[in-house]
Amino acid sequence: MNVFHDAATHVECESIHQWKKTGKPVVGYTCSYTPAEIFHAVDILPVRLRGIETEGMEIGDTYFGPFICSFPKCILQLAGKGKFSFLDGAIITPGCDGMRRLDECWRKAGEDFKGIVPDYFYYFDVPHKAENHGMAWYLDEIRALIKSIEDHFHVNVTDEKLTAAIREFNKGRRLLGEIETLRSQDNVVVSGTDVFAATVAGTVMPREEYTRLLEDWLAELKTRTQALNTGESRVMLVGSISDEIDLFKLIEDTDKAIIVGENLCFGIRYEGNEIREDGDPIEALAQHYLGSSVCPRMYGKYKERLAMLKEKIHQSRAEGVIMQNIRFCDLHGAENALFERDLEAMGIPCLRVEREYGPHIDAGRMKLRINAFLERMDAARRQL
C-alpha cells in the first residue's frame, strides 16, 4: 500500500519520477474519456491530472474567476507553479464547461508564466450523446488524437499495439472487480481509503508495475480474517470528481462508518466492464469510454445512472449514501438532488453535501454533517 498511497497523494509520485529517468515521455490528461491505452501502446506514460498539493488559488482565481469549480482552478494553479514540469504533453477534455475552459485558461496563463504549457497541448473533444452521430464523432476524435500523437512523438500506433494495451488494462480491471467482491462480504477486511488509494494509483502509475502490485495486494487481502466493520455503518460515496483520499479518511476516521463502494470519476466505476479484445480496437475503446459512460454530462441517461447506482448499492450492501459535489458543479449538484429524492423514497438514507476542493476544503463542517448523518443511520438501525 505504500506505493499506492504515494501515487495517490503526490502530483509527481516516485513511479513517475522513475519513469522520467528512463527518458520516456509522460502525457497528462484531465478526464476519464481519454483512452489511456493509446499512450501505453507506444510506451508513453498516461497520467491523469489532479489538483492535490495546491496551497493557494491566486493563479486559478486570476484566470478563471471566483464562481467556478475549484478542481480545474487547482490544476491551473499547479501548472502556474511549475508542478507539472515533468509533463511532455497534456490533453484537455470538456468533461464539463469548467474543464473545457481549462484549455483556454492554461494557454492564456502560458503567456505570463513561460514554460508552463507543454510542447504537446491537445484539445480532445467529446460529444454529449453516445448514439449514432455522437459515436461517429467520438471515433473521429480518437483517430485524430492517434494521428497527433504519432506526428508529435514519432511513434506508430498499430492495432496490434492497441490490442496488447487493452489486454494489459483489462488485467487491472479484473483485479479491481475482485476487490469489489471482497468489499461486499459481511466482514469487510479492507478500508475504503486503501481501496480508493489503490484505484487512483492506477491512473498515474506505469501499467505493468501497477498490475503486478495490485495482484500482490489482492493476494494479501484474501488472507485477512480480521473484519474492519464491527459495529460500523456500510456507506457508499458518490458525486463529483474527487481524487482526495483525505475525504475518505474524514468519513472512516469517525469510527462509525466504512466505505464499501463509491461512484466517483476516479473510483471503481467500471469494474468488471472490460474492453473487448477482439475486432477493431479503436471501436472497442470508443464503446467503453463513451458508450458505457455513466457521467451526468451525458444527455438523457438519468434512469440508466439511477439503475446502475441502485445495483451498486445492492451489490455492496451499503446502508446509506453520502453524496458530495464541489461547489459550482451544476452537473453533480443537480443529479445528487435527484438521487437523494429517489433513493430516500426507497428507504435508503442519503446525505447531500456541497464542498470545496483543494486548499479551501472545509473539513470541520463536513465532519459535523457526516457525524450527524451516521448517528441518524445508527439510530434507525437500532429501531429495527
pLDDT at 230: 84
pLDDT at 272: 64
Tens of pLDDT, residue by residue, the chain (384 residues): 899 999 999 999 999 999 999 999 999 999 999 999 999 999 999 999 999 999 999 999 999 988 899 999 999 999 999 999 999 999 999 999 999 999 999 999 999 999 999 999 999 999 999 998 999 999 999 999 999 999 999 999 999 999 999 999 999 999 999 999 999 999 999 999 999 999 999 999 999 999 999 999 999 999 999 999 888 899 999 999 889 999 999 999 999 999 999 999 887 776 668 999 999 999 999 999 999 888 999 998 999 999 999 999 999 999 999 999 999 999 999 999 999 999 999 999 999 999 988 865 678 888 999 999 999 998 877 776
pLDDT at 270: 62
pLDDT at 229: 86
**3-state secondary structure string across the chain:** CHHHHHHHHCCCCHHHHHHHHCCCCEEEECCCCCCHHHHHHCCCEEEECCCCCCCCCHHHHHHHCCCCCHHHHHHHHHHHCCCCCCCCEEEECCCCHHHHHHHHHHHHHHHHCCCCCCCEEEECCCCCCCCCHHHHHHHHHHHHHHHHHHHHHCCCCCHHHHHHHHHHHHHHHHHHHHHHHHHCCCCCCCCHHHHHHHHHHCCCCCHHHHHHHHHHHHHHHCCCCCCCCCCCEEEEEEECCCCCHHHHHHHHCCCCEEEEEEECCCCCCCCCCCCCCCCCHHHHHHHHHHHCCCCCCCCCCHHHHHHHHHHHHHHHCCCEEEEEEECCCHHHHHHHHHHHHHHHHCCCCEEEEEECCHHHCCHHHHHHHHHHHHHHHHHHHHHC
Read off the pTM: 0.95
| R_g of the chain, CA atoms, integer Å | 20
Domains and their CATH numbers in the chain: 14-157 (3.40.50.11890)
pLDDT at 106: 98
pLDDT at 10: 96
pLDDT at 384: 67
302-311 CB burial, b ≥16 within 10 A, e <16 = eeebeeebee
pLDDT at 294: 86
pLDDT at 359: 66
Q: Please state, in angstroms and rounded to a whole number, the distance separating the CA atoms of residues 51 and 89.
A: 17
